[in-house]
């Protein structure tokens, strides 16, 4: 009974954090409606970076991959990114027929909730919308790890929910990857475990007024990991490090306020490619594993995870 | 540590983590900006260059319509300000073009104005269609409309009078060549309202 409660708790926890993330998308289209391309990009950039960073984290929790045998594990990954003061504002430009065209430091999507007013010619006023006052952004993702064939294991991530609200639309995440035991080629006495792998993912959230995906994100990561297992039998700990190359793209499509007929505005963020260094610690007890790691990259982040299976 | 104690500690930690999943949501108040537009339509039919054309606008009703489109009512609104204005010719069919010069006034009936809100100088009717022409706004007239918006937010139903005061027309119209066209002047308003959302902000 206790074990089934844990599984139910894992699923509910995953849904809670991913559904909560959809709370951001629910309000996003309202906030974006007054913005066209360049302003929308500046407004969303901290969130786009955070989503990409979180998606590419938590790929692995151990550098050790057995050479043969059947292994399967259900894992729950949590990733969180903190925002800095620099993320709270961006240089926005007034739009439309407002005169004169002016720039102002306006809130980003993670910035203060208060709107910002700018005075113009003839006593007019332009108002920039507020943000969601976010200190951090977290994602929780379930994944399945399975293997092994000649030191190669597979990773599969999947989550799809219908949120039952026309404004929110659907939310889906799918990803797959492979990891391979590299240290096997250095002989049985090689002092550390080394593995290499990649993961590709696609994340979709929200539905705009035109019925299209409001937010689409694609991420991939490729890297190597090294660690050393201390302990034998069912209990062990493993400090590990990793070095990876991450890539992330994001597209947002929302209905803007332009002209008599609302038009769908597409914003595509330039691909964000960066190197990331990981330091972590894994603890295993029987069929359970827990790990925590810190990632240093273009945006620092923290990841943790729980797993159950035969490893 | 005994194995059973360690297992109980691990289970307790897991329950804390799962329980914490319900504490990651925070209620945020966000100020949202919506752009609304009100237009005054003028029908012109004149045989002389100098003319005035008044239009009475139930502005309270107009603002209600704008808010209803967004599912809002006046109690939701924090502020409403004039952001810009433009005018355009909507109907014109003639053998030749005209250029007109003048201004439009705004009056909050019983409360303020009239004051010039926008001017047009040597404006070609053909050039003013189909795309709207951004207007040069006058602060006195903008203040009248802003004051009417504030009166609406305070619970009133302001009535506005917009009036065209035309000064010159080239070529001059006459009984055999009368000036006939329809046009509209539209004011864009930025409306600010607050929205409460629960969003994840765990740390």
Per the model's pLDDT, the better-predicted residue between A8 and B66 turns out to be: B66
A110 Cβ under 8 Å from any chain B Cβ: no
| Residue of chain A whose Cα is closest to the Cα of B28 | A132
- Angstroms from B173 CA to nearest CA on chain A: 32
A97–B188 C-beta distance less than 8 A: yes
Write down the pLDDT at residue A159: 84
| Global confidence as pTM | 0.82
Question: Could you give the CA distance from residue A307 to residue A238 in angstroms, rounded to a whole number?
Answer: 15
Write down the pLDDT at residue A2: 31
Question: Could you give the CA distance from residue A182 to residue A65 in angstroms, rounded to a whole number?
Answer: 9
A17–B24 C-beta distance less than 8 A: yes
Contact list, A20 vs chain B (CB under 8 Å): 24-25, 198-200
Locate A183 and state its tokens. 């240290």
Per the model's pLDDT, the better-predicted residue between B109 and A66 turns out to be: B109
B172 Cβ under 8 Å from any chain A Cβ: no
Question: Could you give the CA distance from residue B183 to residue B116 in angstroms, rounded to a whole number?
Answer: 18
Write down the pLDDT at residue B125: 96
ipTM score: 0.86
Is the model's pLDDT at B29 over the cut of 50? Answer: yes
Q: Which residues contact A86 (CB under 8 A, 6 or more apart)?
A: none
Write down the pLDDT at residue B201: 74
Of B21, B33, B81, the CB nearest to A128: B33
The CB-side HSE value for A302 (13 A sphere, CA atoms) comes to 9
> Scanning the structure block, which residue is given the tokens 């009535």?
B159
B1 Cβ under 8 Å from any chain A Cβ: no
- Angstroms from B81 CA to nearest CA on chain A: 6
Q: Is residue B89 part of a domain?
A: yes
Return residues 22-81 of B near A (CB < 8 Å).
22, 24-25, 28-35, 78-79, 81
Sheet holding B136-137, edge to edge: B51-58, B159-170, B99-108, B112-124, B136-137
Locate B64 and state its tokens. 């209600």
Write down the pLDDT at residue A18: 53
- Angstroms from B113 CA to nearest CA on chain A: 15
Write down the pLDDT at residue B175: 94
Report strand pairing: B99-108 vs B77-91.
Answer: unpaired
Q: Is residue B10 part of a domain?
A: no
Whole-Å CA distances, B120 to A139, B46, B56, B168 = 55, 18, 21, 11
Average pLDDT estimate for B32-55: 95
Average pLDDT estimate for B39-44: 96
Q: Which helix (H) or strand (E) holds B148?
A: helix B139-153
Structural domain span for residue B41: 26-198
Return the SS3 of A297.
coil
Is the model's pLDDT at B5 over the cut of 60? Answer: no
Write down the pLDDT at residue B169: 96
Write down the pLDDT at residue B92: 95
Per the model's pLDDT, the better-predicted residue between A147 and B43 turns out to be: B43
Domain boundaries, chain A: 2-83+134-310
Residue numbers in chain A where pLDDT is lower than 70 = 1-32, 162-169, 233, 257-262
Cis peptide before A195 (omega within 30 of 0): no
Phi, psi of B120 (to 5 degrees): -135, 135
Locate A87 and state its tokens. 């993320």
pLDDT band at B4 (very low <50, low <70, confident <90, very high): very low
Write down the pLDDT at residue B24: 62
A32 Cβ under 8 Å from any chain B Cβ: no
Question: Could you give the CA distance from residue A272 to residue A47 in angstroms, rounded to a whole number?
Answer: 13
Number of folded domains that form chain B: 1
Q: Is residue B191 part of a domain?
A: yes
Write down the pLDDT at residue A253: 83
Question: Could you give the CA distance from residue A144 to residue A308 in angstroms, rounded to a whole number?
Answer: 10
Of B33, B136, B197, the CB nearest to A127: B33
């Amino acid at each position: 009974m206790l074990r089934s409660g844990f599984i139910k708790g894992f699923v509910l926890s995953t849904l809670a954090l991913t559904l909560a993330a959809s709370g951001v998308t629910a309000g996003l289209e309202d906030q974006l409606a007054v913005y066209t391309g360049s302003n929308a990009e500046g407004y969303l950039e901290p969130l786009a970076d955070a989503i990409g960073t979180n998606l590419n984290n938590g790929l692995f929790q151990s550098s050790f991959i057995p050479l043969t045998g059947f292994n399967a594990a259900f894992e729950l990954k949590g990733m969180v990114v903190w925002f800095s003061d620099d993320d709270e504002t961006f240089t926005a430009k007034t739009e439309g027929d407002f005169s004169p065209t002016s720039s102002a430091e306006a809130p980003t999507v993670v910035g203060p909730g208060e709107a910002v007013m700018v005075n113009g010619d003839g006593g007019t006023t332009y108002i920039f919308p507020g943000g969601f006052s976010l200190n951090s952004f977290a994602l929780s993702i379930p994944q399945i790890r399975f293997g092994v064939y000649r030191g190669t294991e597979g990773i599969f991530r999947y989550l799809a929910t219908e949120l039952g609200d026309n404004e929110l639309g659907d939310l889906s995440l799918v990803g797959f990857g492979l990891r391979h035991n590299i240290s096997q080629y250095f002989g049985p006495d090689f002092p550390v475990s080394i593995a290499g792998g990649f993961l590709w993912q696609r994340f979709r959230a929200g539905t705009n007024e035109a019925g299209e995906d409001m937010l689409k994100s694609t991420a991939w990561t490729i890297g190597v990991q090294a660690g050393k297992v201390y302990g034998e039998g069912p209990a062990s700990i493993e400090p590990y490090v990793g070095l990876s190359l991450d890539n992330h793209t994001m597209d947002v499509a929302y209905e803007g306020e332009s002209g008599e007929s609302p038009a769908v505005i597409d914003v595509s963020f330039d691909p964000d490619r960066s190197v990331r260094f990981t330091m972590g610690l894994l603890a295993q007890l029987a069929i359970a594993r827990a790990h925590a790691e810190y990632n240093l990259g273009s945006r620092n982040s923290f990841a943790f995870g729980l797993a159950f299976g035969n490893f | 540590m005994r194995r059973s104690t360690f297992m109980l500690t691990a289970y307790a930690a897991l329950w804390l983590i799962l329980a914490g999943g319900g504490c990651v949501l925070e209620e945020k108040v966000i100020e949202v900006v919506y752009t609304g537009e009100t237009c005054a339509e003028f029908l012109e039919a004149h045989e002389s260059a100098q003319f005035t054309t008044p239009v009475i606008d139930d502005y309270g009703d107009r603002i209600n319509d704008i808010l209803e489109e967004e599912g809002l009512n006046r109690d939701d609104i924090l502020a409403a300000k004039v952001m810009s204005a433009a005018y355009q010719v909507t109907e014109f069919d003639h053998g030749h073009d005209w250029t007109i010069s003048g201004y439009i006034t705004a009056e909050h009936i019983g409360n303020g104005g009239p004051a010039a809100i926008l001017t047009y100088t040597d404006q070609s009717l053909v050039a003013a269609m189909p795309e709207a022409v951004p207007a040069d706004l006058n602060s006195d007239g903008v203040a009248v409309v802003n004051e009417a918006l504030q009166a609406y937010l305070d619970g009133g139903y302001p009535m506005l009078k917009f009036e065209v005061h035309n000064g010159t027309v080239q070529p001059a119209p006459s009984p055999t060549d009368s000036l006939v066209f329809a046009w509209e002047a539209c004011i864009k308003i930025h409306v600010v309202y607050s929205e409460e959302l629960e969003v994840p902000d765990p740390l």
